[in-house]
Structures are given as structure tokens and as C-alpha cells.
Structure 1
């Protein structure tokens, strides 16, 4: 029996011109097959092959410099990108803006679930997720530039109910990352910080008659893996590439706390260290982010659920997660992130998607099933801009393709959605920490606009679904009503007309009683 083990150069030689290549990973190097990505780039730069690839990925992959999707950001190497999140590859964003590729987006969860449907040879993914957003063919169909002309989804009805059918496509090659492979090619994720959509991606390629190429850190003897440790069976695998330098993230060689392997005393010590680090944040770190987070956190424990299920997005929302951890309130919620992780201490910045000492790790498609089914009680998400109808844009900003990641799947399905962000951008200067919020200099970019550039969350659809929707900023808070966005709270120290209404692109509904937020949200040291 021929060995499936080969070099990275040998493995990526299996990729042909015009292939559709499925990738997996998350920002910061999360489950990224970096060695394989670099081998594809090296082959193309040396031989100008493979070329005209279609590249598909559910989440953001890269470091905003040279890794991840940046390895594929060469004119001629790719002709089409269907990406969940683009910001980790400015070079690919530039190719899209310059019309050098066909640029598309899909919701992150939809992408993972569609791969699973392709793997089952089913006629695409039928779902309500994406209705009324940029992914709806009536509002753009996921197309992000003029070169993109195909709708990735179509509107259909089942039993009189409207859905989107995301169309299937063949996956010719899957580039998958895992921890170890035995001599037969059975694959384990034991030391990974997530599962993501590895199984769905591998199965989609297998069913399509394509190639499944897996990068691992370790080669094990035959029989070394227990049956329950095998997450991708050898029958699905065509090639295995060992990268002994494979790391947990770009910056972290290996930490068992990220892979959820610590138990007993070791886990307790690790969690105690995390808690001590969280409490070591200096008081002078207080800013408008913490003020928004404190007010937003008030929305967690009035859901009617004894222990609500919560999701946090990147940016200001992750400050809410840190706040709850610092207060010792984590046992009052079920914390989730779309990468499939429950519990633990969430990382932020380039490590968003990682959690130390998680309590459970599911594959991404299953996690998004849970979200789509209404499992989320509260979601804290950022916003790029929002408008008078309560619609939110995070997927296209300043003309650049950003993509939604898991935003659409989460925002559309949570019972309560709390959008958190600063009121304006570019040059804004604020002063706080003494119980008030003062605007020293107004921002040059409005984020509360007459109409969003692109709809990533639909306010009108949220009303139809009966969601509670809030928009929290450092100076004023809003909620979604049948008459549109309503202003109902203002920060102490803020002038309603000068600092809020004059800085907005639309006139909001004003609540009968506009309350002043509590001064405790704006004091540097929590009492």
C-alpha cells in the first residue's frame, strides 16, 4: 500500500488549474495549514501554476501581512474568492477592489453548512439565514465587485415559507489542518484550539471526487489513535504533509490550555492564572470601550433565562466578555463563540477565536446549527454603521470588502442582539473616567447614517422575527422599534443636540423619557 505521506511541494502539485480549493482557518493562525498555503504560493511564483483558482473559506485567515489568504493574493493565481471574512488579507481586498478577481461573500455558518451539504450530495443549503441581507439575491447575492456576476443563492419557498437556497459547487481540493496522522492516514485534532469546518470541508472534497490534503504536526504509528480520537478517517484522506514546526498560533508554539487538554489541578492553576491576569488590568486602561461594555452587560441577566446562552463578536463586544470574567460571573452564563467553542477565557485581537480552558469544542457547522435554530439568548456584536431602519453594515466599509464572518448567522438568530461600537470614527477624542463622558473632538466619519452601504443585518427583518435589538455607543443608546431606531438613553456629560443629534445622518425617534445612564458606567474603577 502506497504511503499517503509526502512533502508539501508534492501535495500541492495535486492542485490543477481552474480547481476550486477549500481552505479552513481563523485569524492569528487558528487551525491554518500555513505550510501548505506557503507551498501553493511558492509553486505559483516559480511556475505560474496552478492558476485561475476558485478559493472558498468560511472565516478570516491570515495576519494582515503575508500569511493565510495573503499567500493566495496574487493576480493570476486566483480568479474567484468566496470568503466569509476578508480583513486578514489586505492584499486580497485590494485585488477585489481593483477588479482583478471575482469577489463574493457568504455568511461563515452558511459556508460551513453548505460544505456539509455538498459532502452529502444534497441540492445545496436551504436556510432562512441571509434573507434580507447582502446575501439575498434581491440585495446583491453576495457579490462584492463588478467582476462578480453570479448569484450564489436563490430565493425559494417550502410550504409557503421563504428560504434561500445556497447553490452547491464541486470542491476539487481541500487543504485541511489537524494535529496528527497515523500511518494509515487517520486524522486527530487532539492538540488543536478548535475544530472549525475541517470535517465538512474534507467530506465535500471527497464527495466531489477531489483531493483531501491534510497538514499535521506529528506522524504516529499505525494503531496509535483510539477510534474516538479520529476526526477524519483515512478513507477520506489522499495526502498527509507533516510540518514539525506547526504551531497553535502564529505566536504560540503550543499551549494545552488552548486545546482544552488540561484537567484537574493543572486546569485549576491555569484558570487561576487567567483570572489573575484579568484582574491585573490597570485602572488607566479605562476607555469608552469599557463604558459601552458595562452598559451592554446589563442586558445579559434580564432575558428571563436562569443561565442565558451568550455569543461575543470581535471588537467592543469582547470587552463585555472580559468584564464578566473579571466580575466572576462566568458561571451565570453559557459562553459560546462561532468557532465551536464553549466556556473558557476568550482571547481578543489577533487571537479572537481562541479560548483558554474551554468546556467544549464542537465543529463549526454544528455550532451554527445551534445558532440558526434559535439557541442564542443574547449576542453582542460590533457595527460598522447603522441606519434609521436599524439595519447594520459590517461587510463592506469604505469601499473595501470586509465580509460578515459569522455575523449574519448570529445577528439574525439571537433572541436579543446588542450591537456595540463607538458613535463615530476618525479623529474622535473623548474624555471619561470621572463619571461622565465628554466629546473633546467630534469624529470625521459618521457611523449612524441615512442608509447603510450594505445590509449585513436587516432591521425590518429583525422586527418580523420579534428580536430585541439594541445599539449601544459611548454617548447614546438606541433600540429598534416598529417606527425605526429610537434614542432612549444618553451618557452623563453629553449634550443631546450637539454631541448626538447633530452628528447623526438621520433623525431618530426620541423616547418619551430619555434616561441618563448611570455614572458608574463611566468611572475608571468599578465599585
Structure 2
């Protein structure tokens, strides 16, 4: 290649050889090199070459119809496909399910990591992701049909623990996409909604002496690109193709949105309020599981509505929503814009996001469910001849600290009515989702139980919780009969012990007051009471006071606790990592003084931060509050125990 790497799409695609392993970037339509895919199809239809390609894609670059790699679903063009998500590439999926090509479904995050490991010439990727699911070689190893025989996954034991080893394979050609290129092939992505795996895939192809073809929308003069903005350096790129605007949309749903590329921020209060139907009912119940201050992943389908509910209930600012292709913070989008987000805090490469996910970085994942069985296992990936694929589902569900699966109780024609705070089934769905055994295990209930993972299953009419003995029915909606509306439509008998009524606020009009409920719950979980010594322990470690709602929450929760106890107590409060907006200091410490006067016989506060001790001391002393401040909890407790008459004075 000469130093000017700018060529036509046909010239670049002409360099692909029969039998090459071709990786294609794209998440739905984001980062999908449509111009290059069209040129590859055009060449094959005209010349019947190249043929017998191995096509590799992490997330499905397709729209569920004809775009993306659906264009490559021609017999002879593709001989093998290794993909993470298949639902949006139905034409290619049909070749796989009809046994016309070799085909694998591997976890999206694992394929992202395989690009990186192939670039480094490692043997493969070692991971626990997939144990107990259909990608476990004891359950098929991710092979989609009988024609597919090579094992890409095997079980390994290391120090007595089981791991899965995913075999690396060479990438001969990488088809990637960016925004701007210079004649040397340096690629920036300022208009792209995601970074994806462009850099890792390009490096994998380059280090295999392969070919990297980049599709961009414009060319800059050499030496004018900011090196810090270059995502794929020119040393990795062989060909640059300038795409036509029609084949270089930002997403399949949006030609261009400056908010998706981070050029501007948009008001969050413009997010539309969802209509109160069965999807919103489910999202509302899931919202009560949100961990304030937590990092969360929302899947497609019903979980997408959860973001709108969080915005309506004014808790979005207390959460960090993420999306698997690399989005941190902001508000993820849905439909053909899925993967993009507005008002993001950061954008990672896709393989980095899965490093974070696989390592347990998610506090909560809310995901869809299509089939659930008595063991709590979930199927979202394969239904007879219909191949949906796992996508990032396995990585996310297996490694999040808490998982909430969300979906309607039945499918196919379900119609419900909400009347006077009660739920009525107008027309039952034709298909049961709770079956004796799922067709394919995308999430393993037994694996989750063995790890003591918290798992709930939320529907419009009831809630289940995963227990060692299987699925337990824990909540039922007002107006729902357990025998008629639940058990009669299940393929197994769940555990039933103590069943509670679902919160009536779910079925009412207007906001539920979720913010106050979650704030109260969060603080309540930080409180413990030693009745023998009459000491109340409050853990403010890492706690944040951001607005007056937070101040009111502390007042409300502590006052309610003391009124219930009916006596004064000694207080021990941990202020390590405590944060407060300066504009709220007066209100907060005035509230502390008020509580001290009414409810505490004495108080000791501690923090390892000398600065925080100084700040607390000044604020409490100026308000005539008792400023007994210490560095450790043991020092604080020792101070109180030296004053037994004060402790005893508060007891009833």
C-alpha cells in the first residue's frame, strides 16, 4: 500500500481473499461500516467471491431486516460465523439454524476480549463467564447446529476452580468505522456514538499480517488530527473509505444527534413519561430495587422503561446507568438507537466495559426474560428454530451483584386493566413464560445460588425470588388470584411461604414518591441498634447530602426510629467519606442539633479524615452541639462506655 491510504470501497474490498476471517464492528447500527458491507455483498453477487469467509461480530451489526451483515447472508459467501447477538441478523441466523454454515454463539463480552487476546497472540481468553449455560462445553459449547463440530470452548480447572477457556482464532480482515481520517489512516470518532472494539479488532488483524479497512465520513489533512483524539492509529490501518451519508448514519434510527456524540447535553426533564401499562407496572416495581449511588445496566425490552421511570421519579441523578458497548452514565436510548446514550459521563472501549462488568462492577442489572424454569434458570437466546443469541446477557447477569429479571407473566396477546388500584387480566397471553425446563440456559439459576447472588423475577402480577430450593413466590398484585392468575399458567409449582401484596403505589396515577422511599431504605440499611448498651450506630461512610431531600431523609428516618423506641439513645456516627454540598451545611447541622436535643443522651462521631473532624467540630460547636469527635469507632465507643450513667439515663 502507498502512504495515501484513501481508496474506494470496491478497491478495498477487492483485497479480501477466499477463506479469510473477517471481523465486522457494529452495535445495531452504531459503528456499523455499511458502505463496506454493501461493497462486499456487491463483489460476491458479481463474481461469486470471496467465498467461505469466517464472519466474526461481537454485537449484532444489523437492524433485524436487511441492513448490516444481513446483506452477507448468501450461501457460499459465509462459511462460518462467530457472533454474540443474532436477533438483529435474522438472515444470517437462518443460514445457521438451517445448518448451512458453521455457527457459534459466544458471549458478547468474551468475543470483545478475544479480539484483544488475538492481538497479543495469546492462546485465548480464560473466564468464568458462561459456566452452567449453553456455552459451557458440557451443554453445547455455544455451537448452534450439528454442522459445527470444532470446540472453541473447554473447561479448565485451576486451583480447584472451574474456568472456561475460549480458544483464540486469527482475524485476517477487520472492517471498522470512524468519523475522520487523514491520509496516513489515523482514525478519530468524534461523531460516533460508541468506540466499540475498533481498536482491538484492528490490532488483531494487523498483528496477524492481515488487512484493516476503515469507513469514515471525511478526510482531514495530514498532521491536523489531535493525537489524543485518534482512536485507531494509522499504523494499524491499510485502507480508508469515505462513505456516502446514506450509508454512514450515526444509528439506524437517527441520522445524527449531537447529544449521542457528547457535543451537547440535553435537559433530562424532557424524557417522556411512559404510559401506565403492564410494561410500566413492571418497571415501577423494578425501580424499588434500584441502589442509590449504584452502577446499573438496563437491558432491552421492559428494562428500557426503567430509565424513564427513574427520570419521572427524580432519582436518575442518584444512579449511574451504563450500557454494555461502553457507556458510563447518562440516559441510554432504546429501539434502533440502542447502545447510544445522552449526557454520558464517559465512554469506554467495549472490551474495557466488559472487564468492569466481569469483575463485578455492576451493583444491579435489570434484564429481560423470555423463559424461566423451576431452578431460576432463564432463556433469552434460543426458541426452537428462532435464534436470538445471548449478546452481553451472560456476562452481565452472571457477574452483577444483584439481578432483576423483568417481563410480563405471559406472552402473546396479554391485555391487562388497572382499575381502582387493582390489576385485572382482561385477556391472558397465549404463551407461558414460566416453564418446567427452559429450552436453552442463558442464565443458570443453580450457578447463581452457589454464589449467593440476589436474583428477583418481576412481572406485572407477581414477584419471585431465587432460593436454594428454587423459585419462591413472594409478592402478588392487588386483584390477582394466586391459583387462577398465577399457578394455572406455570409449568411448575413454585415455593410458597409468606406472600405479600405488591405496593399499591405501583397501580396509582402520578409519581410514586420513589425518591423518598429509596432514600429512607438506603439510610435505614445503614442503622443498627445495640439494645444492651443503648447505643445507636449510624454509618454515614460515603454518604452524600446533595439536596434538601437528603437532609429531610436523615431527619425523617432517625426521628421515626427514636419515636418507635420511645427513649433517648447514645449515638455513634461514622463520617468517613461523608460528602455535603456546602450550600446545605447550615440546614444539615441545624437538623443534627435538633435531633441531638430531642433524641440523644450523648453522641460520639468519628472519621479518619482530619479535615472532616475539623469541619464537623467547627459546625457542631457553633450550634452548641456536642462535638465529641474521634478517629476510630473503638475510640468513640470507649468514650461512651466511660459514661455509663449517660447511657443508662436514656433507657426507658
Fold conserved (TM > 0.5)? Answer: yes
- CA contact 1:390–1:459 (8 Å) conserved in 2: yes
The corresponding residue for 1:458 is 444
Which runs of no fewer than 5 residues in structure 2 stay unpaired? 513-652
Q: Describe the SS at the equivalent of 1:70.
A: helix
The corresponding residue for 1:253 is 255
CA distance, structure 1, for counterparts of residue 419 and residue 231 of structure 2: 49
Q: Confirm or deny that 1:200 pairs with 2:200.
A: yes
TM-superposed deviation, 1:233: 0.9
TM-score of the aligned structures, taking structure 1 as reference length: 0.94
Render the CA deviation track for 1:142-163: whole Å, top value 9, x for unaligned. 0112222222211112222211
Q: Confirm or deny that 1:505 pairs with 2:491.
A: yes
Q: Confirm or deny that 1:516 pairs with 2:506.
A: no
The corresponding residue for 2:561 is none
The corresponding residue for 1:287 is 277
- CA contact 1:434–1:524 (8 Å) conserved in 2: no
TM-superposed deviation, 1:359: 1.2
CA distance, structure 2, for counterparts of residue 223 and residue 326 of structure 1: 47
Q: Structure 1 stretch 94-103 or stretch 446-455: which is displaced more?
A: 94-103
The corresponding residue for 1:436 is 422
The corresponding residue for 1:187 is 187
CA distance, structure 1, for counterparts of residue 236 and residue 492 of structure 2: 54
Q: Describe the SS at the equivalent of 2:202.
A: helix
TM-superposed deviation, 1:277: 4.0
Render the CA deviation track for 1:55-96: whole Å, top value 9, x for unaligned. 111112211221112111111111111111111122122222
- CA contact 2:21–2:54 (8 Å) conserved in 1: yes
The corresponding residue for 2:272 is 278
Q: Confirm or deny that 1:45 pairs with 2:45.
A: yes
- CA contact 1:155–1:162 (8 Å) conserved in 2: yes
The corresponding residue for 1:86 is 86
Q: Describe the SS at the equivalent of 1:155.
A: strand
The corresponding residue for 1:525 is 510
The corresponding residue for 2:23 is 22
Q: Describe the SS at the equivalent of 2:493.
A: coil
- CA contact 2:216–2:241 (8 Å) conserved in 1: yes
TM-superposed deviation, 1:466: 1.6
Render the CA deviation track for 1:236-294: whole Å, top value 9, x for unaligned. 111110114122123422222101122xxxx3xx2x2x522424x5xxx2210100011
Q: Describe the SS at the equivalent of 1:278.
A: coil
The corresponding residue for 1:4 is 5
CA distance, structure 2, for counterparts of residue 336 and residue 251 of structure 1: 20
The corresponding residue for 2:608 is none
Aligned ranges 1:361-440 → 2 under 5 Å: 361-432=347-418, 434-440=420-426
CA distance, structure 1, for counterparts of residue 64 and residue 109 of structure 2: 23
Q: Confirm or deny that 1:97 pairs with 2:84.
A: no
Render the CA deviation track for 1:367-411: whole Å, top value 9, x for unaligned. 000011111110000011010000001110243111111100000
- CA contact 1:69–1:88 (8 Å) conserved in 2: no
CA distance, structure 2, for counterparts of residue 434 and residue 204 of structure 1: 60
Aligned ranges 1:20-419 → 2 under 5 Å: 20-27=21-28, 29-245=29-245, 246-262=248-264, 267=265, 270=266, 272=267, 274-279=268-273, 281=274, 285-301=275-291, 307-419=293-405
TM-score of the aligned structures, taking structure 2 as reference length: 0.77
CA distance, structure 1, for counterparts of residue 204 and residue 485 of structure 2: 52
TM-superposed deviation, 1:433: 5.6
The corresponding residue for 1:13 is 14
- CA contact 1:286–1:433 (8 Å) conserved in 2: no
- CA contact 1:260–1:359 (8 Å) conserved in 2: no
CA RMSD of aligned residues (A): 1.3
CA distance, structure 1, for counterparts of residue 160 and residue 225 of structure 2: 49
Render the CA deviation track for 1:291-317: whole Å, top value 9, x for unaligned. 00111111113xxxx511111000001
Q: Structure 1 stretch 312-321 or stretch 84-93: which is displaced more?
A: 84-93
- CA contact 2:284–2:306 (8 Å) conserved in 1: yes
CA distance, structure 2, for counterparts of residue 36 and residue 81 of structure 1: 18
- CA contact 2:3–2:183 (8 Å) conserved in 1: no
Q: Describe the SS at the equivalent of 1:209.
A: coil
Q: Structure 1 stretch 215-224 or stretch 424-433: which is displaced more?
A: 424-433
Q: Structure 1 stretch 290-299 or stretch 152-161: which is displaced more?
A: 152-161
- CA contact 2:321–2:331 (8 Å) conserved in 1: no
CA distance, structure 1, for counterparts of residue 230 and residue 494 of structure 2: 55
CA distance, structure 2, for counterparts of residue 2 and residue 331 of structure 1: 48
The corresponding residue for 1:490 is 476
- CA contact 1:278–1:325 (8 Å) conserved in 2: no
CA distance, structure 1, for counterparts of residue 50 and residue 227 of structure 2: 36
Q: Describe the SS at the equivalent of 2:7.
A: coil
CA distance, structure 2, for counterparts of residue 15 and residue 115 of structure 1: 19
CA distance, structure 1, for counterparts of residue 57 and residue 22 of structure 2: 9
Q: Which has the higher contact order (CA 8 A, sep 6+)?
A: 1
Number of positions where the alignment pairs a residue of Structure 1 with one of Structure 2: 509
- CA contact 1:134–1:141 (8 Å) conserved in 2: yes
- CA contact 2:312–2:511 (8 Å) conserved in 1: no
CA distance, structure 2, for counterparts of residue 241 and residue 227 of structure 1: 21
Q: Describe the SS at the equivalent of 1:412.
A: helix
The corresponding residue for 2:453 is 467
TM-superposed deviation, 1:524: 4.0
